[in-house]
Amino acid sequence: GLALLVGAIFVVQREFRSLSVEQVRTAMGAISHHALWMAAGLTVLAYLVLAIYDKLGSIYAGKPASWSRSLMASFCGYALAHNLGFTAVSGAAVRLRFYSAWGSSALEIAKVVGFTSLTFGLGGMALGGLVLVLEPDVLPWFGGHVPRWALQSLAIPLWLIVAAYVVLSRFFRVVRVFGHEVELPGLRMALAQTMLATVDVAVTAAIFYVLLPPAEGLTLIRFIGIYLAAYSLGIVASVPGGLGVFDTAILIGLAPYMGTAEVIGALLVFRLYYYIAPLFISGFLFAG
């Protein structure tokens, strides 16, 4: 994480050396009202999809929560975790506070946390595999130095992991992991997890995508690949909001398609919609 942060600082200061505030302001002003409303609607949809994570997680834990409680726990948990970093810890702490107040045991809460954490991973691997098959040259440097078929073959292990989880959920109710028994959710729930998470990742990436100016060759699928790589690096770094690390990866990924000012302008609006505004709303809800 520290290495990623240091590298991010180096890249960001290099990119900003020839960039003025006025250029960024102009780029932000060029974003159409239609794009702003589209991004706002997609942000609402993204957080509604995340609420289904918690709903399914509570069903898996054996103590189904109401939709209002699932929405509250999910929105506050994800909004705070996105900004604080250390998602598995900060999001779990918020859920512990809510679900324990609603009468759930520590084991039931742990099941919800484990279920929601795994769900995003399934979606990321399923969608990441699709990106590698359709747009394998999206990977910086590798796209020009590694054969196309070799990059496409990287989708196989990702899909095998997802398939293994679904198959195990179909034929086994309990598996042993590091000496501990883990209850699997069943076939229908495992399929629902995978499809739901795939939609979540695609919708979240689309928030950013609609804010960008049109660029030749930059399809939604290709951008999803760039977004997934940047978001994953942000999680690995455990920096609050992936700050610096996520932004650097996005800058590098979009460099062939548009100028730095356009990327930064869209990035600031994306952070406002998906990170900052939900943080303030969830902060007031959580405090209340």
Q: List per-residue pLDDT tens for the chain, 288 residues long.
A: 677 667 667 666 766 777 778 888 898 899 999 999 999 999 999 999 999 989 999 999 888 899 999 999 999 988 888 887 767 778 888 899 999 999 999 999 989 988 888 887 888 888 888 888 888 877 665 656 778 788 888 889 999 999 998 998 888 878 887 777 888 888 888 898 889 989 999 999 999 999 999 988 888 998 998 998 888 887 777 777 677 788 888 988 898 888 888 998 999 999 999 988 998 898 888 888
- Is residue 21 packed enough to be buried (19+ CB in 10 Å), middle (13-18) or exposed (0-12)? exposed
Q: Quick one: pLDDT at residue 245?
A: 82
Q: What tokens appear for 12 in the block?
A: 């960001």
Taking a C-beta distance cutoff of 8 angstroms, is the pair 123, 201 a contact?
yes
Alpha-carbon distance 63 to 66, whole Å? 10
> Which residues, other chains included, contact 187 with Cβ-Cβ below 8 Å and sequence gap of 6+?
166, 169, 170
Q: What tokens appear for 13 in the block?
A: 């200061």
- Is residue 13 packed enough to be buried (19+ CB in 10 Å), middle (13-18) or exposed (0-12)? exposed
Alpha-carbon distance 75 to 234, whole Å? 20
Alpha-carbon distance 96 to 32, whole Å? 41
* Per-residue pLDDT tens digits for 131-154: 888 888 776 656 567 787 888 888
Residue type, 224: I
Query: Is 180 in a helix, a strand, or coil?
Result: strand
